Structure 1
Amino acid sequence: MKFSLLHLFFLPSLFFHGTTFGAIICEDLTNNNCSFAISSSGKRCVLEDFQDTKGKVAYQCRTSEVMVENMAGYIETNECVRACGVNRNATGISSDALLDKHSVVTLCSPACYQHCPNIVDLHFNLAIGEGVSLPDLCEQQRTNPDCSMIQLLSSNVPADGPVASYKHHRKFSVAPAPFSF
């Protein structure tokens, strides 16, 4: 059998069954890859729960309306999920992690904060929605670890919601969304 250019292009396509040559569509992702993924259109993927026809809780990946600049077509690495202490099985998008001291310590750790721009960007915008600056929260955690998020929230005026994306001053492997402090 002679190997031709047709074989060169056809054989690899067998390994991409169910995908559109690298396009990330939230609804096509498995539950284990949904949370902290960004579709090719730049919208965050979100894991949602619902009751199936038998009344059991089931999960499905959906496209949210939350846009992420400069990170389209991205599935978070297992390394960042571990470094940031987040859960791939989390449903919805919530700022609850910002209320947990252990979660804030992990999120603000150098392994997460300096190397995982997708997760940091998400929590940066969630913090803005709570009226808090994530860089300030991390600095407060480093300098006064006994201060809680609740104390920070009570000392700030609530913000209107996410209006900008996070830009970190360190170099990331994936370009963070633009933002100026």
Structure 2
Amino acid sequence: MRLRYLAPIFFTLLLSGCGESYTPGNLYMAATPECKTWQEGSRFELPRGMSVATTPPVTLPEGGAEFTFVYILPRGERARFLTRDYNVTAPKGAVLHKAELVTLYQRTTNSRPEIVDSIPKVPDMFVASAAGEETLWRVRVRVKAKLPQRFDVVAPAFEIGLKEYPMRTFTYRYFPERKAFGLCS
């Protein structure tokens, strides 16, 4: 008789332990509308110990830029891209440009990088290698067209463990004193 009353409590406790606790950080990098402060880098934590990081882009002579994103996945993990587009947008606005893939390489933290130089698009999925504690993917994309003084780059969102997760929108502006585009907050 007692078991009948305890069973709902037991199953509630059991199921609550199965859920994954993940609260994303700021999905939009800029802390102020002016976005005046230079940032050396930005790292966005994802569930299951995954993350994506970026640093200031390389400003191209014709006004475009090359952006690098480093994805880190622990051994045994995988993440599927919901799209393959790296979009440059007006601040919280419409798409201005789609960045083109320049290079992609993958390596474990204890191995040398393997360059992949002729890949037409970002792969469907990243799968961590069993050969190292973590696997890194370095994705470099480029926009040749002249970029505005302030813009965002929206990296593709992920599906991790059959659940969709948003990605941070990285914010950029032109810093005249540095004569370069940079991450800003």
TM-score bin (small chain):
under 0.3
TM-score, normalised by the number of residues in structure 1: 0.25
Greater relative contact order, per chain length (Cα 8 Å cut-off, separation 6+):
2
Q: Which has the higher helix share?
A: 1
TM-score, normalised by the number of residues in structure 2: 0.25
